[in-house]
Amino acid sequence: MASPDLSVVVPVLNERENVERLLPRAAAAIAGLGLSHELLVVDGGSTDGTAEAAAAAGARVLRQELPGYGGALREGLAAATGTYVLTLDADLSHDPDFITKLWRARSSADVVIASRYVKGGVAYMPRHRLVLSRILNAFFAKGLSLPVRDLSSGFRLYRAGAVQALALEGTNFEVLEEILVKAHAAGWRIAEIPFTYYPRARGASHARIVAFGMALLKAFFRLWKLRNSIDSADYDERAFYSVIPLQRWWQRRRHEIICAWTRGAGKTLDVGCGSSIILQSINDVVGLDVQQNKLRYMRRYGVPLVRGSVFALPVGDATFDCVVCSQVIEHIPYDEAIFTELRRVLRPGGLLVLGTPDYATVGWRTIEPLYGFFAPGGYKDEHITHYTREGLELLCREQGFALEDTAYVFRSELILALRKTAVRPAAESPATPAEASRAAG
């Protein structure tokens, strides 16, 4: 059977009356959009006939095995077979007619949130609940640097492939925040559209403020770690705006040098672009990286992107006037192929901008241990090949590049401007493995 356009996932616990009203209205709204759909109701062991009512309304009913709202939501998401997955509460706080608006917004992002807190959104809730919700949302958004206002809205439309690939753990309502942090870390786009929320009409609430607060706090620390680790797709971009002055200056100084050198250099390939602002600042550029989440994240800048490895660039010979390779070679084992590949894709006379820490400098040897200490999730442990200026310059000459300019970021990170010479110096190439590893330090 072909997969439906839309799967609707509804976690329920003793919501019989609500389910009887909700499901037909949801089905009608979706039919109005001309979509094929499935209704998935995840029941937490209701004792009021909710499951029977849901089945009678045409839903597939799953009996949840994992605990709590989080468990129910995760099981529902996993069981969904649609191209898109929509989640909503059963208690009619989430008006099913709004599905139309979420669906219309589907191409704006990979996760679309029905948001109470963006401009135009409204929340009719008891005052104490509203205050608490706003505080928690502001705290999470700020503390986890997520550009989202309503992180706790359970009314969302997901691209199925985006949400189903996330490894989720939350069992309470904190799973909602967890999904957003992990989706953002994986580079998926999140958008909010204004929505008007009403309190539940019937039935009893399942929100247990204290238990929920505790779960949320624990989740915050877990997610904070992920958010600040290099596994987050926007790590490099955030570093450019870091509140830590040294980190911010460092990023900006590197950016300034590389962008000045590449200005007007022609068609450029940024090898290992990551989520660095450098990619967005170069005007005629193609970004290349091995990490899918970083490329996904960078889609927002409208730059052509390609996934690939520097060991075998998926690019024709002599295709680019300029190649940037910054913060890459220290992360990978030394291999002559790196340099032959960078040279191959450059036209004769083309410019290579190559940046890496200089391990012979006092600056870097002091800063790296400090960086490792203050940023335990950062890049320190990933620096596996240690170059020095002398070694790298020799290596580049051997590989057929002529040195044109040298710059340092804080006297520690070396950036070289190199020209591809017409012929590789035959006598010295290829470098023997022993010479190469000596040069690579």
Ligand X SMILES: Nc1nc2c(ncn2[C@@H]2O[C@H](COP(=O)(O)OP(=O)(O)OP(=O)(O)O)[C@@H](O)[C@H]2O)c(=O)[nH]1
Interaction between residue 64 and ligand X (CB under 6 A): yes
Quick one: which segment of 83-91, 232-240, 304-312, 397-405 binds ligand X (CB under 6 A)?
83-91
Residue 22: name the closest of 97, 125, 116 by CA: 97
Interaction between residue 91 and ligand X (CB under 6 A): yes
- Minimum distance from residue 410 beta carbon to Mg ion (Å): 52
What is the amino acid identity at position 144? L
Interaction between residue 137 and ligand X (CB under 6 A): no
> Which of 25, 200, 253, 365 is close enough to bind Mg ion by CB under 5 A?
200
> Which of 17, 75, 91, 330 is close enough to bind Mg ion by CB under 5 A?
91
- Minimum distance from residue 319 beta carbon to ligand X (Å): 53
Quick one: which segment of 107-115, 199-207, 257-265, 304-312 binds Mg ion (CB under 5 A)?
199-207
> Which of 205, 283, 406, 432 is close enough to bind ligand X by CB under 6 A?
205
CB closer to ligand X, 212 vs 387: 212
Interaction between residue 196 and ligand X (CB under 6 A): no
- Minimum distance from residue 128 beta carbon to ligand X (Å): 11
Interaction between residue 13 and ligand X (CB under 6 A): yes
289 binds, among Mg ion, ligand X, none (CB under 5 to 8 A by kind): none
Interaction between residue 37 and ligand X (CB under 6 A): no
> Which of 8, 15, 113, 192 is close enough to bind ligand X by CB under 6 A?
15
> Which of 11, 82, 355, 400 is close enough to bind ligand X by CB under 6 A?
11
> Which of 93, 293, 388, 412 is close enough to bind Mg ion by CB under 5 A?
93
Secondary structure in 3-state letters for the chain: CCCCCEEEEEEECCCHHHHHHHHHHHHHHHHHCCCCEEEEEEECCCCCCHHHHHHHCCCEEEECCCCHHHHHHHHHHHHCCCCEEEECCCCCCCCHHHHHHHHHCHHHCCEEEEECCCCCCEECCCHHHHHHHHHHHHHHHHHCCCCCCCCCCCCEEEEHHHHHCCCCCCCCCCHHHHHHHHHHHCCCCEEEEECEECCCCCCCCCCCHHHHHHHHHHHHHHHHHHHCCCCCCCHHHHHHCCCCHHHHHHHHHHHHHHHHHHCCCCCEEEECCCCCHHHHHCCCEEEEECCHHHHHHHHHHCCCEEECECCECCCCCCCEEEEEEECCHHHCCCCHHHHHHHHHCEEEEEEEEEEEECCCCHHHHHHHHHHHHHCCCCCHHHCCCCCCHHHHHHHHHHCCEEEEEEEEECCCEEEEEEEECCCCCHHHCCCCHHHHHHHCC
261 binds, among ligand X, Mg ion, none (CB under 5 to 8 A by kind): none
CA distance 164 to 92: 25
Question: Do 2 and 81 touch, CB atoms closer than 8 A?
Answer: no
CB closer to ligand X, 11 vs 274: 11
Quick one: which segment of 63-71, 141-149, 177-185, 287-295 binds ligand X (CB under 6 A)?
63-71
- Minimum distance from residue 114 beta carbon to Mg ion (Å): 13
- Minimum distance from residue 325 beta carbon to Mg ion (Å): 52
CB closer to ligand X, 106 vs 206: 206
Quick one: which segment of 7-15, 294-302, 330-338, 383-391 binds ligand X (CB under 6 A)?
7-15
Q: Residue 147: phi, psi to the nearest 5?
A: -80, 55
Quick one: which segment of 90-98, 149-157, 253-261, 346-354 binds Mg ion (CB under 5 A)?
90-98
- Minimum distance from residue 200 beta carbon to Mg ion (Å): 5
> Which of 12, 109, 146, 183 is close enough to bind ligand X by CB under 6 A?
12
The residues that touch Mg ion, with contacts defined as CB under 5 A, are: 89, 91, 93, 200
- Which residues in this chain contact ligand X in the complex, by CB under 6 A? 11-13, 15, 42-44, 64, 68-69, 72, 89-91, 93, 200, 205-207
